[in-house]
A and B are shown apart, each in its own frame.
Chain A
């Protein structure tokens, strides 16, 4: 049971990072279908950086650097992809759905290329990510195992989700950001630099999503690269809808998704085939949430109003 929850939480946190990133970009009005590709790139950049670092230092590994270097690489990888997406959709006003899908294609290709240049085994580096951040937790019994014995990513994801919710709802920047996503013309008239907000928010969101990709490989998969980071990306997009654009709800939503995803391995009696059905559940519940919120028409639970639309001031 404990192992199941721990596994669910660890998968959930990489989903949480992805969905927090997507939430930020959606809040400024960007439906970024490039997130799966961006998560791939983030993961690949992080892993590649780890590979280079280990190759450079040999055995003299500084644990903190072994964590920081891949993190920064993943952030930069994600942010650069975000910059590309932003340039096309904001400056060139390209269609967001198209751009996102193309970015995903490109991202998957890039990540596979990068990984092929290195290796698919990062278990050595993964150790540093999965090592419990808080010492002596193994003596605290179940509580310690369940609540405290996580690597850096779980706490990082939680912190990012909470900070994001706070910034979105309780700060001036958040207010402006949401205004840009809801009604860019109004935001523009109020003196908010729409393009700047969109650029910055999208790049930050994509950087966070990039971390999510790295978390999936380094934490959940314990360093064994699998070519399925993009599925986690789509799941993260689903999670955004499931949690009605709120990263704090997403903390619980992500664990729920994680649980559904891994449940089949831990529940006795589930057949080999049944696992596939369990993996379907996150999408089905997301569909239900999407349907129910659209039927209830509660304004707070709808997608940002100008989601998917480019903004051009002189268009009337």
Chain B
């Protein structure tokens, strides 16, 4: 390597309580290269980089910048060593302009002058090909623009080492391409760029070398040019693991929920759902795959009556009456009054599905408290249900009167899923139900979903782990940028086929639509 070494980590270890986030990790990056750090969710990529950026302090290990050992105890120290990190959650003041955010916190000797700063921002934009108005307020910006501001913020501080934490998670394919072009230009300018990702195609198209982490441990580093997708996958997930999730043949499949051409926009007027049509059938698990933020949440919330649609219809085939009802833009109460037994396990468990400060019994009541006559609550049934769930699903808790906030993630999810299933739903929607859960708890959830399928529920499962989707679901619908990219058979589809549908640019189709 002719290029000088920029950053080197040796034997980094970090533990949080009993959880080992990083164990003896090594890393080296050169100036003028793009290094990808690849790993599954929870493999310790972000933690490792947070230590370089001064957010956490390592328990053990040494960090070298340009060959010299350094101590990075705060983000300020990191800046001093010209390290800048762009986090997944942007840290921007909404009310400020781009430039104001960019210069925030800087203690320059020069007099404060917004004009000069704006010019300097323009200069950086020009140099690397960003398109942004330095005077535009953050609250008027798209996600991609906000990310651009974060990157410029780091560059403005003269960073030589840029760390990007899953930068494409929130971007459209076109925006991703634009970002990559910018990153390549920065690389050519001699910057050292580290990109954290779990998407193979990004690694292959962008990086010069790849470092792979698995479960907090350093697995190895390879040159991108000399590697293949399957080699990387193997490094990332270890040897091919069969998950052994049971999958019964669907029985008595009938149409239950018919979604037709639904569309919607967000508060800023951007399209989030674009002409989505599909049918969920009883006795079947329909998987939903897609990059985070492709419209999964809005789609489920629209069905549950929580997200306003601008167009389309949602028909529910009532198995009892044989009637077909349109659920479009009905409130959750109206939907329930129609006799639709719809259960929904939302992504945000403690912020939406449950109330953290309430105990298990009171959380059971969330769905059922209206039942019964009079103005008073009936706590007996929910109490029985709570004890039932604690027993059946082996929820680890001191008792039914413990606030759910005190439970671990897996137990919280058991409480939530248990409650939703207890309503014996005809449609069960679950968004990322195993996120953050350990293996045992995950299998408990898979089993519960399968049981529901077998008793004739139409299950909609939004997942992020393609292996799980492929082993659990009967059909998999892939959404991409608020649109359906394809619906494949869960038994025959290949992983890379789905990956491609999730990520492929839809520009061509856009062009076609334009002609029509």
Residues of A within 8 A of B (CB): 170-172, 175-176, 178-179, 182-183, 185-187, 189-192, 299-300, 305
Residues of chain B lying within 8 A (CB to CB) of residue A175: 96, 100, 103-104, 112
Partner of A305, one of B74, B95, B106, B107: B95
Q: Bound state CA distance, A186 and B104, in angstroms? A: 9
CB pair B94 A183 closer than 8 Å: yes
CB pair B79 A305 closer than 8 Å: no
Give the distance to chain A from B384, nearest Cβ to Cβ, in Å: 35
CB pair A189 B75 closer than 8 Å: yes
Give the distance to chain B from A175, nearest Cβ to Cβ, in Å: 6
Q: Contact flags (1/0) for B82-120 with A, using CB distance below 8 Å?
A: 000000000111111000100111111000100000000
Which of B92, B93, B137 has the most chain A CB atoms inside 10 A of its CB? B93
Give the distance to chain B from A188, nearest Cβ to Cβ, in Å: 9
CB pair B94 A187 closer than 8 Å: no
B378 interface contact, C-beta 8 A: no
CB pair A300 B95 closer than 8 Å: yes
Give the distance to chain A from B509, nearest Cβ to Cβ, in Å: 36
CB pair A187 B105 closer than 8 Å: yes
CB pair A299 B139 closer than 8 Å: yes
CB pair A171 B76 closer than 8 Å: no
CB pair A186 B103 closer than 8 Å: no
CB pair A305 B104 closer than 8 Å: no
Residues of chain B lying within 8 A (CB to CB) of residue A182: 93-96
CB pair A176 B91 closer than 8 Å: no
Give the distance to chain B from A264, nearest Cβ to Cβ, in Å: 39
Residue in A closest to B153 when the chains form the complex, CB atoms: A190
CB pair A189 B91 closer than 8 Å: yes
Give the distance to chain A from B79, nearest Cβ to Cβ, in Å: 7
CB pair A299 B95 closer than 8 Å: yes
* A–B complex contacts, Cβ < 8 Å, 12 sampled: A170-B112, A176-B105, A179-B96, A179-B105, A186-B93, A187-B104, A189-B91, A191-B105, A192-B105, A299-B94, A299-B137, A300-B95
Residues of chain A lying within 8 A (CB to CB) of residue B105: 176, 179, 187, 190-192
Q: Bound state CA distance, A121 and B93, in angstroms? A: 50
Which of A171, A179, A185, A192 has the most chain B CB atoms inside 10 A of its CB? A179
Interface size on B, residues (CB 8 A): 20
Within 8 A of A (CB), among B118-151: 137, 139
Residues of chain A lying within 8 A (CB to CB) of residue B108: 172
CB pair B94 A179 closer than 8 Å: no
Give the distance to chain B from A167, nearest Cβ to Cβ, in Å: 10
Partner of B94, one of A170, A172, A189, A305: A305
Q: Bound state CA distance, A191 and B106, in angstroms? A: 8
Residues of chain B lying within 8 A (CB to CB) of residue A189: 75, 91
A176-B104, A176-B105 known; A183+B93 contact, CB < 8 A:
yes
Residue in A closest to B87 when the chains form the complex, CB atoms: A189
Residues of chain B lying within 8 A (CB to CB) of residue A185: 91
Residues of chain B lying within 8 A (CB to CB) of residue A187: 93, 104-105
Residues of chain B lying within 8 A (CB to CB) of residue A172: 103, 106-108, 112
Q: Bound state CA distance, A192 and B92, in angstroms? A: 13
Q: Contact flags (1/0) for B58-77 with A, using CB distance below 8 Å?
A: 00000000000000001110
Residues of chain A lying within 8 A (CB to CB) of residue B94: 182-183, 299, 305
Which of A186, A191, A299 has the most chain B CB atoms inside 10 A of its CB? A191
Residues of chain A lying within 8 A (CB to CB) of residue B137: 299
Residues of chain A lying within 8 A (CB to CB) of residue B76: 191
Which of A189, A190, A300, A305 has the most chain B CB atoms inside 10 A of its CB? A190
Q: Bound state CA distance, A186 and B94, in angstroms? A: 10
Residues of chain A lying within 8 A (CB to CB) of residue B75: 189, 191
Give the distance to chain B from A176, nearest Cβ to Cβ, in Å: 7
CB pair B95 A186 closer than 8 Å: no
A171-B112, A299-B139 known; A190+B104 contact, CB < 8 A:
yes
Q: Bound state CA distance, A272 and B76, in angstroms? A: 64
CB pair A186 B91 closer than 8 Å: yes
Q: Bound state CA distance, A171 and B92, in angstroms? A: 19
Partner of A186, one of B92, B112, B139: B92
Q: Bound state CA distance, A182 and B79, in angstroms? A: 23
10 shortest A-B CB distances, which residue pairs? A190-B105, A172-B112, A186-B91, A191-B105, A189-B91, A190-B104, A182-B93, A191-B76, A183-B93, A192-B105
Residues of chain A lying within 8 A (CB to CB) of residue B112: 170-172, 175
Q: Bound state CA distance, A183 and B92, in angstroms? A: 8
Q: Bound state CA distance, A171 and B113, in angstroms? A: 8
Partner of B104, one of A170, A171, A179, A300: A179
Give the distance to chain B from A46, nearest Cβ to Cβ, in Å: 34
Q: Bound state CA distance, A189 and B93, in angstroms? A: 11
Q: Bound state CA distance, A186 and B91, in angstroms? A: 5
Give the distance to chain B from A84, nearest Cβ to Cβ, in Å: 29
Q: Bound state CA distance, A178 and B112, in angstroms? A: 15
CB pair B91 A190 closer than 8 Å: yes
CB pair B139 A179 closer than 8 Å: no
Give the distance to chain B from A70, nearest Cβ to Cβ, in Å: 35
Q: Bound state CA distance, A192 and B79, in angstroms? A: 13
Give the distance to chain B from A153, nearest Cβ to Cβ, in Å: 30
Q: Bound state CA distance, A125 and B96, in angstroms? A: 46
Q: Bound state CA distance, A182 and B95, in angstroms? A: 8
Give the distance to chain B from A36, nearest Cβ to Cβ, in Å: 28
Give the distance to chain B from A107, nearest Cβ to Cβ, in Å: 32
Give the distance to chain A from B154, nearest Cβ to Cβ, in Å: 11
Q: Bound state CA distance, A172 and B103, in angstroms? A: 9
Q: Bound state CA distance, A156 and B137, in angstroms? A: 34
Give the distance to chain A from B117, nearest Cβ to Cβ, in Å: 10
Give the distance to chain B from A148, nearest Cβ to Cβ, in Å: 34
Q: Bound state CA distance, A300 and B106, in angstroms? A: 23
CB pair B91 A191 closer than 8 Å: no
Q: Bound state CA distance, A239 and B91, in angstroms? A: 32
Residue in B closest to A186 when the chains form the complex, CB atoms: B91
Residues of chain B lying within 8 A (CB to CB) of residue A191: 74-76, 79, 105
Residues of chain B lying within 8 A (CB to CB) of residue A300: 95
Residues of chain B lying within 8 A (CB to CB) of residue A305: 94-95
Give the distance to chain B from A27, nearest Cβ to Cβ, in Å: 11
Residues of chain B lying within 8 A (CB to CB) of residue A299: 94-95, 137, 139
Q: Bound state CA distance, A170 and B115, in angstroms? A: 11
Residue in B closest to A316 when the chains form the complex, CB atoms: B89
Q: Bound state CA distance, A153 and B108, in angstroms? A: 36
Q: Bound state CA distance, A57 and B357, in angstroms? A: 63
Residue in A closest to B77 when the chains form the complex, CB atoms: A191
CB pair B104 A192 closer than 8 Å: yes
Q: Bound state CA distance, A300 and B96, in angstroms? A: 9
Q: Bound state CA distance, A305 and B138, in angstroms? A: 14
Q: Bound state CA distance, A185 and B55, in angstroms? A: 13
Q: Bound state CA distance, A186 and B137, in angstroms? A: 16
Q: Bound state CA distance, A299 and B93, in angstroms? A: 12
Residues of chain B lying within 8 A (CB to CB) of residue A178: 93, 95-96
Within 8 A of A (CB), among B420-453: none
Residues of chain A lying within 8 A (CB to CB) of residue B107: 172
Give the distance to chain A from B16, nearest Cβ to Cβ, in Å: 12
Contacts beyond the supplied A185-B91, A299-B137: 14 A-B pairs with Cβ under 8 Å: A171-B112, A175-B100, A176-B104, A178-B93, A178-B96, A179-B93, A179-B96, A179-B105, A182-B93, A186-B93, A189-B91, A190-B104, A191-B105, A300-B95
Which of A176, A178, A183 has the most chain B CB atoms inside 10 A of its CB? A183
Q: Bound state CA distance, A191 and B80, in angstroms? A: 12
